[in-house]
Each structure stands twice: as structure tokens, then as C-alpha cells.
Structure 1
Amino acid sequence: MSIDFTKAVGIHPEALKLRAERTKILASNIANESTPGFQARDMDFASALSERVNADGADGGLSLDTGDDALKYRVPFHPAQDGSTVELGVEQAQFSQNASDFSTSLQFINIQLKGLAKAINGQ
């Protein structure tokens, strides 16, 4: 009898890949906070994850494509005079929440793998 690890850990590996990509996007926004005219970008995580999970069943593989089509421009609460849409507080909050969600998915995978190890060892 074989163990299908993709079923055992659920969607969390795909979530980790998307969270890592979103971390890069948010870090880019923060790094360009003082760049005049820079347009802050972000992804709709829920729809991106849904697409990855649905694509996984269709062609047997995940494609992490967060190109320009997947990224959306962030609408600022208080537009800057230089045309930049980066609001440091918003970006930092999104970055922090994304890091927390990344950690949570990683903990779920860790718990699932520990449970599988116990089952394999007969505990």
C-alpha cells in the first residue's frame, strides 16, 4: 500500500508556493515605497490558489504563473502627490499577514507529516 503525499498534506504545498511568490511582490512594493510613480501590486490569493488546485487536477502539475495577468494594482487609500500608490503601513500589514499565513500552512504540513510518520511506525 502506498501513501499519496499530495492527498495527505492537502493544498498547503501549493499555498506555500503562492505565499512565497506573494512575499516577493509585497517586498517589491515596500522596496519601491519612495519611487515616484511606482504602482503597488498584489495578487488575489484565494483565486490564485483556487486556479492552482483546479489546474492540478486537470493536467497533473502545478504551474506557478503569477505573471502580469495574475497581479492586480492596489488602490491607495491616500494617493501620493508623486503618483506612487505604495502605502507603507498597508504593505507592511499585508506582508505581516502573509508571513503569518505562510507559517500556518507550514505548521499544518509539519503536523500532517508527523502524523504520517507515527502511522508508519505503528504508533
Structure 2
Amino acid sequence: MSNPIDDAAITAVLARHLTQSVQRQAVAVGNIANLDTPGYRAREVRFSEALDEQLAALKTSHPDHFGPQNPPAPPSGADAEVVETPGLPARRDGNTVQLDRELLNLTRATGDFAKAQTVLAAKFRLVRYAINEGR
């Protein structure tokens, strides 16, 4: 039998992953929209520090630390940082957006979203199955 607290933590991580994927998509779309804007510097979303904090929050030193009174933190996208993408060559007009790179980033973010959404949907189907007692 699965532990409902572990399920809550996994659901929170999946929800955060969905939020982060949407943020990556938005930044890639913004970069593409500014493809012809002189002086525009391509941007990216950084999650490394946020991921470290998120993983540290899921580690427990005692199995009773997560419980109904102490659930994991809800997902949020506030821990993402949008920064200028370093190391990209600039065109004559100073723009650093590379269309092929941004389309790849957009495709990856869309795929990440789809994977997390599929897992989350499967979890909810199992819950619905259990509620309906297998009917």
C-alpha cells in the first residue's frame, strides 16, 4: 500500500514541474517574439538553486516528519529566476536570440510538461478508481 504522505510529496513535485515547464515555455516564446528586436538579449529560466532547496525539503531525518500536520510545501513558480543566457554570440544588431535553439527549448519544455501531466493524470485515475471501488 502506498503512503499518502509520499503521494502528496510526489504530487507537489509534479505540480511544481508543470509550473516550471510553463515558465520555460513562456521564456522561449518571449525570446522568439523578440527575434528581430535590436539589442535584445536571449533569456533562460534557472531552477538549479530552487531544485536543490526542493530536494532538501523532501529529505527527512525521521519518517514522522511529514504528516497531516506537516505536509510538504505547495508548488510555486516563484523560485525560478529568468536571466540573460550567457555565452551566446550577438548579431550585428546586438540580438542574441537563435531561433533553432529557442525552438529546441520550447519543444523540450513542452515534452517535459506532457510527461509530468501524464504521470499526474495517471495518479488521479488511480484515486478515482479507488473511490469508485474498482467500478
TM score, norm. by length of structure 2 = 0.71
Corresponding residue for 2:8? 6
Q: d(CA) in 1 for partners of 2:9 and 2:96?
A: 41
The higher radius of gyration belongs to 2
Higher helix share: 1
Alpha-carbon distance between aligned partners in 2 of 1:15 and 1:62, rounded to the nearest angstrom: 9
1:66, 1:85 → 2: CA distance? 25
The answer for the alignment partner of 1:31 in structure 2 is: 33
The answer as to 2:120 corresponding to 1:109 is yes
SS at match of 2:107: helix
| CA shift digits 1:37-69 (9 cap, x unpaired) | 1011111245444445667989944442267xx
Q: CA deviation at 1:77?
A: 4.7
Contact between 2:31 and 2:42, CA under 8 Å: does it hold in 1?
Answer: yes
Q: What corresponds to 1:17 in structure 2?
A: 19
Could you say what secondary structure the match of 2:77 adopts? coil
Alignment of 1:40-51 (within 5 A): 40-51=42-53
Unaligned stretches of 5+ residues in structure 2: 59-69
Count matched residues: 119
SS of the residue aligned with 1:15? helix
Partner of 2:98: 87
Normalising by structure 1, what TM-score? 0.77
Q: Is the 8 A contact 2:47 2:79 kept in 1?
A: no
2:77 is the alignment partner of 1:64: yes
The gaps in structure 1 that reach 5 residues or longer are: none
Q: How many percent identity over aligned positions?
A: 24
Which residue does the alignment assign to 1:100?
A: 111
Secondary structure of the 1:36 match is coil
